Amino acid sequence: MTISKRDAIKAQRTKRKRQQRMNTLLWVGGFIILLILIFISPTIYNSLKPAGSFVRITPEPHPMENGKVIGNPNAKVKIEVYEDFQCPSCKGYASTVEKQLVDSTYITSGQVYYIFMHFPFIDTNSITKESHQAANASMCALEQGRFWDYHDILFANQGAVENGGSFNDKRLQAFAESLELDMTAFNQCFSANKYSAEIVADYQKGVAAGVTGTPTVFLNGTQVTPGFVPTYDELKSAIDAALASGS
């Protein structure tokens, strides 16, 4: 059968259009796969990556603790500290200034009310959101009355690289298990990201107060040593001044 020139041209055009559609589908498919690799794979990997070895802690007493606060709610001095569990300066502050204050008579005498505030700003542009996930896990530990123990184990296992996997899901769950938490309750809370709204509320309150980094410490609404991490002596002087003035 002889094919006319017109039919041949028509067949070529049909073939060309079919190839163009195929190329478009391949391009779109490749783009979708790329998006999956960029945005979804890290999240999946973070949830599946094994816990590996980590530092275990011996829980220490935190006098007058209630959730993520310590001390007398009617105290003359109220201290709010904004922290990010991935922040190296927060780790240093927590192991020195914060520990000295928690162990001091300011707390046990009812003079100071100490409040931990979440400020997970380090993972703002991260896909895996390890700061937020660590905060989420700490709040799930709070449900079982163990916020401060979980706070301590997080800082004890802070990674050298931010969002580098030190606070991946399996490790956060392993921390909870090492503290002998009820893992069924913890995992349900953690997987539901149950306290996201409370964490965001802390963060937004910090932004409104002018917090740009961590740790940032406020005493009765006034920032202590703005732009710098206060030493214990500086914080103690601010406490004593507030107690003396009654402000």
* DSSP symbol at 70: E
Bridge-partner residues for 81, per DSSP? Answer: 116, 217
Token digits of residue 89: 């300066």
Among 130, 66, 68, 132, CA closest to 98: 68
- Is the pLDDT at 73 greater than 80? The verdict is yes
Which domain range does residue 178 map to? Answer: 65-245
In a domain, 33, yes or no: no
Structurally, the chain folds into a number of domains equal to 1
In a domain, 124, yes or no: yes
Q: Residue 21: what pLDDT?
A: 72
In a domain, 6, yes or no: no
| CB-CB contact of 196 with 136 (8 Å) | yes
In a domain, 83, yes or no: yes
Classify the C-alpha dihedral 203-207-213-217 as positive or negative. Answer: negative
134-174 confidence digits (pLDDT tens) = 999 999 999 999 999 999 999 999 999 999 999 999 999 99
The rounded distance, in Å, linking the Cα atoms of 130 and 75 is 34
In a domain, 39, yes or no: no
- Is the pLDDT at 42 greater than 70? The verdict is no
In a domain, 140, yes or no: yes
Backbone φ and ψ of 184, nearest 5°: -65, -50
Q: Residue 12: what pLDDT?
A: 72
Q: Helix H segments across the chain?
A: 5-35, 41-48, 88-93, 99-103, 105-108, 130-142, 147-156, 169-178, 183-191, 196-209, 232-245
Residue 31 or residue 138, greater confidence: 138
pTM for the model: 0.80
In a domain, 149, yes or no: yes
- Is the pLDDT at 41 greater than 70? The verdict is no
Token digits of residue 127: 């896909």
In a domain, 128, yes or no: yes
CATH of the domain at 188: 3.40.30.10
